[in-house]
Structure 1
Amino acid sequence: MDPWEAAFLVIATIGSVGVAVGAWFQEKRRSATHLAAVQRKLDLIMDHLGIAEPVEPDVVRHLENGQTIHAVRAYRRQTGTSLVEAKQAVDRIASRLHSER
């Protein structure tokens, strides 16, 4: 095999792998965006129906003690959500707790 052919084969292989990885990342990003949209819609439906999301007692206890950061950590442990999503959920839970009082 000619060295130029070998170099071309290596470059073509690297390019093919790069395209495949790029497509995979794009699909992953699209799936995450779609999942976030579905989650927002589900949250709106639950709010409209007055259905409260189940909350770990630790989250409520931390909020009652004024420990928002600990509540967010407990919520993340319970649900596996991102930091931003957990903070938003804990804020919703806190506002619901304050409105009940």
Structure 2
Amino acid sequence: MNTVFLLVVLIGTAGWITSTVSLRVKSLQAQADRTERRLALLLDHLGVEEPEPAGMNEVRALIREDRQISAIKAYRRITGAGLVEAKLAVEALAATVQKD
């Protein structure tokens, strides 16, 4: 009986800790998103453009060779972006590269 009670208490505590951490992470993510938006507005107001990461010529070359997956991998390696972000960025870049 003691073991079952202890197990229930441990599972409950683990659930509480998990939910608390999850809520805190969501709160921090929302705060980071707000900070990014404000920084973007400030940079836009000042007319400051973010410099392009070194190595983007490699990504453009891969796009010209119609090697989208390799271009996404290279973009991720160069920028540290996630998969979805890199895919969207490469697709946007492909639209401009093909116009050249």
TM-score between the two structures when normalised by the length of structure 2:
0.65
| Two-structure CA RMSD over aligned residues (Å) | 3.0
Q: Specify the alignment match of 2:80 in structure 1.
A: 80
SS of match in other structure, 1:81: coil
Distance apart, 1:67 and its partner CA: 1.3
For 2:6 and 2:66, locate their aligned partners in 1 and report how far apart those are by CA, in whole Å.
Answer: 62
Aligned residues: 96
Q: Specify the alignment match of 2:21 in structure 1.
A: 24
For 2:27 and 2:40, locate their aligned partners in 1 and report how far apart those are by CA, in whole Å.
Answer: 20
Aligned partners of 2:64 and 2:98 also within 8 Å: no
Counterparts of residues 11-90 of structure 1 (less than 5 Å): 11-32=8-29, 34-35=31-32, 51=50, 53-56=52-55, 57-90=57-90
Indicate the structure whose relative CO is greater, using CA pairs within 8 Å and at least 6 residues apart.
Answer: 2
Unaligned runs of 5+ residues in structure 1 are none
Identity of aligned residues (%): 28
Distance change (3 Å), C-alpha of 1:13 and 1:50: closer
TM-score between the two structures when normalised by the length of structure 1:
0.64
Distance apart, 1:51 and its partner CA: 4.5
Task: For 1:61, give the aligned amino acid.
Answer: A
Unaligned runs of 5+ residues in structure 2 are none
Aligned partners of 2:72 and 2:86 also within 8 Å: yes
